A and B are shown apart, each in its own frame.
Chain A
Amino acid sequence: DQQVKQNSPSLSVQEGRISILNCDYTNSMFDYFLWYKKYPAEGPTFLISISSIKDKNEDGRFTVFLNKSAKHLSLHIVPSQPGDSAVYFCAASSSNTGNQFYFGTGTSLTVIP
């Protein structure tokens, strides 16, 4: 059973515009959330994280928003750049149930120059 879901397999955005990637989760015990970026033939690399005590975390062009009541988080990239084209994975973990990371299926972002 997929505890972390990314319902959009792909997204295309014009360079300079905002990219919004979405993620839903089912386990209310999750208290730490992360976004990873993956280029072809490489391992995923960490992008940004958020603890459940916050509802927003910002790092440069990247902002993650957490809506605990809706069990939803999103990643905003502003402005989008062609180098942002990659697969983005959402992940979640719970400090109460072992700290292992559960990942979604990924969203492939294409930023069009």
Chain B
Amino acid sequence: DAGVIQSPRHEVTEMGQEVTLRCKPISGHNSLFWYRQTMMRGLELLIYFNNNVPIDDSGMPEDRFSAKMPNASFSTLKIQPSEPRDSAVYFCASRQEILNTEAFFGQGTRLTVV
């Protein structure tokens, strides 16, 4: 397996624009996480899906952020409208929860909002 795949690797956008980050989890994994890495908060959990259903979205900072998981092999994190303070590295991770294993991370998307 190629691991968790995120796209794009880098995104530069202007304030006010819509941004969509994409994630393909490892095949067979039934849990998916979106994290944001910042200096102040480290790896901050934004949302957690289990079997494609959002279980905990309490970490989503505000209504400008939304996430979907239409099927077991794809998820998106959307920011609309984007703001400069959204600039960070966004990570997607997946896990096979039944086996109680660790989560595997993608390489991240570095988002810069100017």
- A residues within 8 Å of B by Cβ? 2, 6, 32, 34, 36, 41-46, 49, 89, 91, 95, 98-106
Contacts and interface: CB of A to CB of B under 8 A. Distances in A.
Interface in B32-88: 33, 35, 39-45, 48, 50, 55-56
A2 B41 contact: yes
A100 B104 CA distance: 13
B107 interface: yes
A43 B50 CA distance: 21
Contacts of A91: 43
Contact of A43 (B31, B56, B97, B106): B106
Contacts, number: 57
B55 A43 contact: no
A44 B43 CA distance: 10
8 contacts: A36-B105, A42-B107, A43-B105, A89-B42, A100-B56, A101-B33, A105-B41, A106-B42
Interface of B: 4, 31, 33, 35, 39-45, 48, 50, 55-56, 91, 93, 97, 100, 102-108
Given A89-B42, A100-B48, A103-B35, 7 more contacts: A41-B107, A43-B91, A43-B108, A95-B100, A98-B55, A98-B56, A101-B93
Contacts of B31: 99
Contacts of B41: 2, 105
B10 to A, nearest CB: 10
B100 A32 contact: yes
B42 A100 contact: no
B101 to A, nearest CB: 9
A103 B102 contact: no
B43 A49 contact: no
A45 B48 CA distance: 19
Given A43-B91, A98-B48, A98-B55, A103 B42 contact: yes
B102 A89 contact: no
A41 B97 CA distance: 27
The residue among A42, A89, A98, A100 with the most chain B CB atoms within 10 A of its own CB is A100
